[in-house]
């Protein structure tokens, strides 16, 4: 068909009247609405003035109007390509729709009147969040759900709330029996014969983190003291059993919880009260609500901290934890093996052997870390402790299993140092069972010497805090008038230059200069020292041996 005939046919259906605009449908002009063009014509095409449409433009209601716009657009394109379009009035008539207007978006909340609804929705969301994060919800979850069915994500949220929420939230949680419920779930996990790695071990890890989160507030520390020695005695028994967690991070949490005992019972803590005292018969916790019917002695100060019975000192309580008897292994022999009487009479008691076996297992399982036999045990007086303990940027050796194992070993040495300080504060004579000298004697009799000799071979660059804790322990043993074995004392030396005090570095450099000048005065030729690599710990600079002259073989 000829395009002129087709254009004539389309021209006959050109006139399409717009729908009348009702007065109540007039939308408000907003600057943030979407601009939508209704024509595909060029921007430079002539457009007539449409003043009556500038303010009140009808909202498209049916699809026929868009169809008419598309037909008129095709007519304009057809007429532009024809040869007989030369008159300006016809062009103006053909391009009577080439305008762009602001079209309101139907999804806008302002036009739909959803302001009040959004406020009510926000209030409902806030009330729902408050209900989900309420202390009663988590107390009910822990009370009514067994450890086998307990959700790990719920325990994770509980740990975050205990750590980040206010003390009033923790107090409400404790008043609803939350701490006793956490202890119940922990005991259920520890009584399981074989824990599942995917659920039980992860739940145990999160429960331990909940105990640690309680120690961040005063009311949480009061809860940890309320049931003491639980859960510390149960955790030490788990560490000594063959069902101990395989994950090093979980075992480190147990060691860190034992370190929290020093914060729970400061040096000002009072000895335990006898069970016959009326104060001990009715103990009022910090989170207990006051009642008018209940009467307590007026001279009782509930803010005073007393040690768990029957201990009179903190070292006595910690010593009892370390001497916890290990549970029998799963594959126990039918007939118990007992030594002969003459062997029993020659036996030396090694009371801390069970505890030190855990440290020995770490040295055995990660043997490849201890590959620096030339390392020394640092002299504590020459070590800059602040420089060693300052925060460091993560290096290439952080985050691996070796790094976790050395952190775990460091935590145990820190625990031993805390116990050694607590027994040194007692100032008891050497013959006393709770004296510092007796404590170190029992440790060396149980085999801590071999553990120290192996642990000192770890890298001083990546694990400086481990070497610092070893140096602190050796210093505490020397202060207790304990004579160190020769195999241990011969490895004591100066720390590296980066960990030493500035005064010692200056003395060593002066000594090196004096030794170099003495050698030059005797006529000996000294090798030049590199300024950037000055060996601080050595006397003089070592000489490079002269290579031997090799004679060729003659036949």
pLDDT in single tens digits along all 555 residues of the chain: 666 776 777 676 654 444 454 444 444 444 444 434 444 444 444 444 444 444 444 444 444 444 344 444 444 444 444 444 444 444 444 444 444 444 544 444 444 444 555 556 666 656 655 667 899 999 999 999 999 899 999 999 999 999 999 999 999 999 999 999 999 999 999 998 888 888 999 999 999 999 999 999 999 999 999 999 999 999 999 999 999 999 999 999 999 999 999 999 999 899 987 544 444 444 555 555 544 444 444 444 557 899 999 999 999 999 999 999 998 887 666 677 777 887 777 778 899 999 999 999 999 999 999 999 999 999 999 999 999 998 877 666 667 899 999 999 999 999 999 999 999 999 999 999 999 999 999 999 999 999 999 999 999 999 999 999 999 999 999 999 999 999 999 999 999 988 998 866 666 666 766 665 555 555 554 444 444 444 444 444 455 566 666 677 776
Residue in 463, 471, 530, 531 with CA at minimum distance from that of residue 495? 471
Using DSSP's 3-state secondary structure scheme, residue 270 falls into strand
Residue in 485, 541, 474 with CA at minimum distance from that of residue 508? 541
Residue 513 host element (H or E): helix 502-521
Distance of CA 227 to the CA centre of its chain: 26
**pLDDT tens digits for range 378-387:** 999 999 999 9
Q: What is the pLDDT of residue 393?
A: 76
What token pair was written down for 189? Answer: 């996990």
Residue 492 host element (H or E): strand 492-493
Spatial contact of 362 and 409, defined as CB atoms under 8 Å apart: yes
Q: What is the full DSSP assignment across 61-127?
A: -SHHHHHHHHHHHHHHHHHHSSSS---HHHHHHHTTT--EEEE--TT-HHHHT-HHHHHHHHHHHHH
Distance of CA 51 to the CA centre of its chain: 67
Q: How many Å apart are CA 64 and CA 111, to the nearest integer?
A: 25
Token pair 């006959």 is at which residue?
12
Q: What is the pLDDT of residue 345?
A: 79
Q: What is the pLDDT of residue 487?
A: 94
What phi, psi does 8 have (nearest 5°)?
A: -65, -40
Residue 386 Cα distances to 235, 393, 468, 492, 501, angstroms: 32, 16, 10, 20, 10
**pLDDT tens digits for range 500-554:** 988 666 666 667 666 655 555 555 544 444 444 444 444 444 555 666 666 777 7
What token pair was written down for 160? Answer: 């975050």
Residue in 108, 229, 213, 228 with CA at minimum distance from that of residue 162? 213
- Residues with Cβ within 8 Å of 445's Cβ and at least 6 positions away in sequence, in order, are 348, 349, 350
Q: How many Å apart are CA 335 and CA 131, to the nearest integer?
A: 58
Token pair 């490079």 is at which residue?
544
Q: What is the pLDDT of residue 240?
A: 95
Where do runs of H (alpha helix) occur along 192-231? Answer: 200-214, 218-226
pTM score: 0.68
Residue in 227, 224, 255 with CA at minimum distance from that of residue 239? 255
Residue 48 Cα distances to 19, 58, 90, 91, angstroms: 20, 18, 12, 10
Q: What is the pLDDT of residue 145?
A: 92
């Amino acid at each position: 068909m000829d395009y002129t005939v087709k254009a004539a046919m389309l021209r006959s259906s050109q006139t399409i009247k717009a729908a009348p605009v009702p007065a109540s449908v007039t939308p408000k002009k907003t600057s943030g609405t979407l601009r939508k063009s209704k024509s595909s014509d060029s921007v430079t095409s002539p457009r007539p003035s449409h003043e009556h449409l500038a303010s009140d433009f009808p909202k498209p209601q049916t699809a026929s109007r868009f169809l008419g716009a598309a037909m008129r657009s095709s007519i304009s394109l057809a007429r532009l390509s024809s040869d007989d379009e030369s008159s300006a009035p016809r062009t103006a008539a053909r391009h009577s729709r080439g305008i762009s207007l602001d079209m309101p978006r139907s999804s806008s909340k302002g036009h739909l009147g959803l302001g009040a609804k959004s406020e009510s929705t926000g209030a409902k969301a806030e009330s729902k969040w408050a209900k989900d994060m309420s202390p009663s919800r988590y107390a009910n979850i822990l009370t009514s759900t067994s450890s086998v069915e307990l959700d790990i994500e719920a325990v994770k949220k509980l740990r975050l709330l205990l750590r980040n929420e206010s003390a009033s939230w923790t107090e409400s949680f404790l008043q609803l029996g939350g701490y006793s419920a956490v202890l119940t779930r922990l005991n259920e996990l520890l009584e399981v014969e074989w824990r599942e790695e995917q659920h039980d071990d992860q739940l145990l890890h999160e429960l331990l983190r909940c105990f640690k989160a309680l120690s961040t507030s005063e009311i949480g520390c009061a809860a940890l003291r309320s049931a003491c020695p639980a859960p510390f005695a149960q955790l030490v028994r788990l560490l000594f059993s063959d069902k101990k967690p395989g994950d090093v991070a979980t075992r480190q949490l147990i060691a860190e919880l034992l370190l929290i005992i020093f914060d729970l019972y400061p040096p000002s803590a009072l000895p335990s009260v006898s069970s016959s005292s009326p104060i001990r018969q009715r103990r009022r916790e910090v989170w207990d609500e006051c009642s008018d019917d209940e009467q307590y002695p007026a001279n009782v100060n509930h803010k005073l901290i007393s040690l768990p019975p029957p201990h009179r000192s903190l070292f006595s309580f910690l010593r009892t934890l370390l001497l916890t008897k290990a549970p029998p292994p799963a594959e126990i022999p039918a007939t118990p093996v007992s030594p002969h009487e003459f062997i029993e009479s020659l036996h030396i008691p090694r009371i801390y052997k069970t505890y030190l076996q855990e440290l020995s297992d770490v040295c055995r399982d990660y043997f490849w870390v201890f590959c620096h036999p030339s390392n020394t045990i640092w002299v504590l007086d020459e070590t800059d402790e602040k420089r060693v303990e300052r925060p460091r940027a993560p290096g290439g050796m952080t985050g691996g299993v070796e790094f976790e194992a050395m952190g775990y070993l460091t935590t145990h040495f820190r625990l031993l140092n805390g116990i050694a300080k607590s027994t040194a504060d007692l100032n008891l004579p050497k013959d006393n069972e709770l004296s510092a000298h007796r404590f170190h004697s029992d440790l060396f009799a149980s085999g801590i010497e071999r553990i120290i000799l192996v642990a000192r071979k770890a890298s001083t660059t990546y694990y400086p805090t481990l070497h610092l804790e070893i140096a602190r322990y050796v210093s505490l043993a020397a202060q207790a008038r304990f004579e160190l074995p020769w195999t241990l004392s011969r490895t004591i030396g100066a720390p590296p230059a980066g960990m030493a005090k500035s005064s010692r570095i200056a003395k060593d450099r002066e000594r090196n200069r004096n030794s170099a000048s003495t050698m030059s005065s005797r006529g000996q030729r000294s090798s030049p020292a590199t300024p950037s690599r000055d060996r601080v710990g050595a006397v003089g600079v070592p000489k490079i041996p002269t290579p031997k002259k090799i004679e060729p073989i003659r036949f």
